[in-house]
């Protein structure tokens, strides 16, 4: 057991916990502060958001022993907080909650948004809230409620508890002891979601995936096409035709150097994104294999996406087996959605649609005309299905332990 001392909701607390105890378990199990909810317990849903040294962190992935000396505030500490009182009233007025499971985390995050930004339009609020998932409301009421409080408080800024811009750092890392207010880096905190000028200015580079030094994640899929190998191989070499089969993707232009400008529109939870970038392809005729590389940027969320599709074709009966490996890197506001569970569902849904479109384009009917509706709606539908499947798994038993 490890003994630690910290301040919780203004009171000094000394507790002995197992070294593996999470901060969420510390407040819920040891201190009986059950207003902090646990949804995913893997840092995705934001239900467990609390303040550590004044900054929102996801307590489910924070280690309790790392918070020795820190100052922790849970939702229970905001009963008499004037700003939280306004937010609660606004949430009520704008129907910003239904089951209320996400609400403690939402309110902690909402309070931080109002304090830190002062002014934020709907788009900015949605970006800042991207780390808090709600399965009930559709977010509209939540965003309206926060906007309502921001507008109402304009002109009364002097009354607010202002928090200076803070560097990111490990939650409860002991900085509180020295008076420095430092946040949890493990959470995609609101601070980390700020549009980054350097990020926004960076152009998507057609360099090999992982050239940035970051490790790419990969998902493998296979599917069968009812067309002979030479026909499928030829089709994989026709980038414009391939792009038309990718849900949400569209070809903007083709350059003389063999690269293509493409766009990809997606809708993910409360956020819509349109990635614009370039794609190129390398092929090995002898191996019947190739690599399609793409990189793009969504300017609204300052998110960079870079991906590679490695494919290999083999004859199977009279048809063709397609084995693909999708590797991806995401940085910026939407990077938090790059969790294995979401991405596996997402790529599975996209691949199924891509395979269906490709199969249709290779059929005699598909050969006479373009694929229709391979655009945003299908992508949004896929993502909806993917996120829904993932969220329903996530919330099947929100109180599950261990
Ligand atoms: Fe902590 Fe989901 S982010 S429970
Ligand atoms: Fe947000 Fe139910 S009100 S999860």
pLDDT tens, position by position, 368-402: 444 444 444 344 444 555 555 555 655 554 444 33
77, pLDDT greater than 80: yes
Which CATH code for domain 79-154? Answer: 1.10.150.120
Most confident of 100-104, 117-121, 135-139, 291-295: 100-104
10, pLDDT greater than 50: yes
Centre of ligand 1 to C-alpha 36, Å, is 10
Of residues 218 and 242, the one with the higher pLDDT is 242
Ligand 2 neighbours, Cβ below 6 Å, are: 97-103, 134-137
Q: How high is the pLDDT of residue 156?
A: 53
Mutate to test the pocket of ligand 2, among 103, 104, 138, 399 (most ligand atoms within 8 A of CB): 103
Q: How high is the pLDDT of residue 30?
A: 93
Confidence of residue 97 (pLDDT cuts 50, 70, 90): very high
**Ligand 1 neighbour 40 (Cβ under 6 A):** yes
Distance CA 122, CA 154 (A): 16
Q: How high is the pLDDT of residue 355?
A: 84
Q: How high is the pLDDT of residue 112?
A: 94
Each domain of the chain, given as residue ranges in start order, spans 2-77, 79-154, 195-396
Residue 356: Cβ-neighbour burial (10 angstroms; 0-12, 13-18, 19+)? middle
Centre of ligand 1 to C-alpha 305, Å, is 24
Q: How high is the pLDDT of residue 315?
A: 92
Centre of ligand 2 to C-alpha 47, Å, is 9
**Ligand 1 neighbour 187 (Cβ under 6 A):** no
Which CATH code for domain 195-396? Answer: 3.30.530.20
Confidence of residue 326 (pLDDT cuts 50, 70, 90): confident
Q: How high is the pLDDT of residue 181?
A: 35
Q: How high is the pLDDT of residue 333?
A: 63
What's the whole-number mean pLDDT along residues 327-331?
Answer: 71
214, pLDDT greater than 70: no
What's the whole-number mean pLDDT along residues 80-105?
Answer: 94
111, pLDDT greater than 90: yes
Centre of ligand 1 to C-alpha 119, Å, is 27
Mutate to test the pocket of ligand 1, among 57, 74, 105 (most ligand atoms within 8 A of CB): 105
Among candidate residues 149, 32, 25, the one with its CA nearest the CA of residue 86 = 149
Centre of ligand 1 to C-alpha 51, Å, is 14
| 8 Å CB contact between 347 and 355 | no
Give the per-residue SS3 of the chain. CEEEEEEECCEEEEEEECCCCEHHHHHHHHCCCCCCCCCCCCCCCCCCEEEECCEEEEHHHCEHHHHCCCEEECHHHHCCCHHHHHHHHHHHHCCCCCCCCCHHHHHHHHHHHHHHHCCCCHHHHHHHHHHCCCCCCCCHHHHHHHHHHHHHHCCCHHHCCCCCCCCEECCCCCHHHHCCCCEECCCCCCHHHCCCHHHHHCCCCCCCCCCCCCCCEEEEEEEEECCCHHHHHHHHCCHHHHHHHCCCEEEEEECCCCCEEEEEEEEECCEEEEEEEEEEEEEECCCCEEEEEEEEEECCCCEEEEEEEEEEEEEECCEEEEEEEEEEEEECHHHHHCCHHHHHHHHHHHHHHHHHHHHHHHCCCHHHCCCCCCCHHHHHHHHHHHHHHHHHHHHCCCCCCC
**What residue owns the CA closest to ligand 2's atom 2?**
99
Average pLDDT over the chain, rounded to whole? Answer: 76
What's the whole-number mean pLDDT along residues 45-49?
Answer: 96
Domain 2-77 is found in CATH 3.30.450.20: no
Q: How high is the pLDDT of residue 147?
A: 93
26-35, 230-239, 282-291, 328-337: which range is least confident on average?
328-337
**What residue owns the CA closest to ligand 2's atom 4?**
134
pLDDT tens, position by position, 275-298: 888 888 888 888 899 888 888 888
Mutate to test the pocket of ligand 1, among 47, 63, 106, 339 (most ligand atoms within 8 A of CB): 47
Q: How high is the pLDDT of residue 387?
A: 56
**Ligand 1 neighbour 135 (Cβ under 6 A):** no
194, pLDDT greater than 50: no
Q: How high is the pLDDT of residue 362?
A: 85
Centre of ligand 1 to C-alpha 300, Å, is 26
**What residue owns the CA closest to ligand 1's atom 3?**
43
pLDDT tens, position by position, 244-265: 888 778 888 888 777 888 888 8
What's the whole-number mean pLDDT along residues 135-161?
Answer: 80
Mutate to test the pocket of ligand 2, among 88, 95, 97 (most ligand atoms within 8 A of CB): 97
Cut 0.75: pTM above it: no
Centre of ligand 2 to C-alpha 398, Å, is 12
Q: Which ligand is nearest to the CA of 101?
A: 2
In this chain, the answer to whether the domains covering 79-154 and 195-396 adopt an identical fold is no
37-41, 83-87, 162-166: which range is least confident on average?
162-166
52-56, 110-114, 142-146, 220-224: which range is least confident on average?
220-224
70, pLDDT greater than 50: yes
Question: Which residues, at least 6 apart from 72, have a Cβ–Cβ distance to it below 8 Å?
Answer: 6, 7, 8, 9, 23, 27, 50, 51, 52, 172
Q: How high is the pLDDT of residue 395?
A: 52
What percentage of the chain carries pLDDT values higher than 70? 68
18-27, 141-150, 188-197, 303-312: which range is least confident on average?
188-197
Ligand 1 atom having least distance to the Cα of 46:
3
């Amino acid at each position: 057991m490890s003994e630690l001392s910290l301040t919780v909701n203004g009171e000094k607390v000394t507790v002995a916990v197992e070294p593996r105890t999470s901060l969420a378990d510390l407040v819920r199990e040891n201190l009986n502060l059950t207003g902090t909810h646990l949804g995913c317990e893997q840092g995705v849903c934001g239900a467990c958001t609390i303040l550590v040294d004044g900054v929102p962190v996801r307590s489910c992935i924070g280690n309790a022993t790392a918070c020795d000396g820190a100052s922790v505030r849970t939702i229970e500490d905001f009963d008499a907080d004037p700003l939280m009182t306004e937010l609660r009233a606004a949430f009520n007025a704008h129907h910003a909650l239904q089951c209320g499971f996400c609400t403690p985390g939402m309110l902690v995050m909402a309070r931080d948004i109002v304090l830190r930004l002062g002014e934020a339009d709907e788009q900015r609020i949605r970006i800042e809230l991207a780390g808090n998932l709600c399965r009930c409301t559709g977010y509209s009421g939540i965003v309206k409620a926060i906007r309502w409080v921001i507008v109402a408080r304009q002109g009364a800024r002097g009354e607010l508890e202002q928090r200076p811009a803070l560097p990111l750092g490990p939650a409860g890392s002991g900085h509180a002891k020295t008076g420095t207010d430092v946040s949890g880096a493990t959470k995609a905190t609101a601070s980390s979601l700020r549009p980054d000028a350097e990020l926004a200015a960076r152009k998507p580079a057609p360099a090999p995936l992982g050239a940035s030094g970051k490790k790419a994640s990969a998902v493998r899929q296979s599917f069968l096409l009812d067309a002979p190998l030479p026909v499928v191989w030829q089709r994989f070499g026709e980038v414009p035709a391939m792009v038309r089969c990718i849900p949400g993707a569209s070809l903007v232009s083709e350059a003389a150097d063999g690269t293509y400008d493409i766009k990809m529109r997606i809708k993910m939870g409360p956020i819509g994104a349109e990635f614009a970038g370039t794609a190129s392809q390398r092929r090995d005729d002898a191996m019947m294999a190739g690599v399609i590389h793409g990189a793009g940027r969504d300017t609204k969320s300052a998110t960079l996406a870079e991906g590679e599709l490695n494919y290999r074709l083999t004859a199977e009966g009279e048809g063709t087996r397609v084995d693909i490996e999708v590797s991806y890197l995401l940085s910026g506001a939407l990077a938090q959605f790059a969790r294995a569970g979401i991405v596996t569902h997402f790529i599975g849904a996209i691949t199924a649609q891509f395979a269906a479109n490709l199969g249709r384009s290779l059929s005699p009917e598909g050969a006479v005309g373009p694929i229709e509706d391979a655009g945003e709606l299908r992508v949004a539908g896929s993502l909806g299905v993917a996120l829904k499947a993932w969220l329903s798994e996530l919330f099947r038993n929100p109180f599950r332990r261990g």
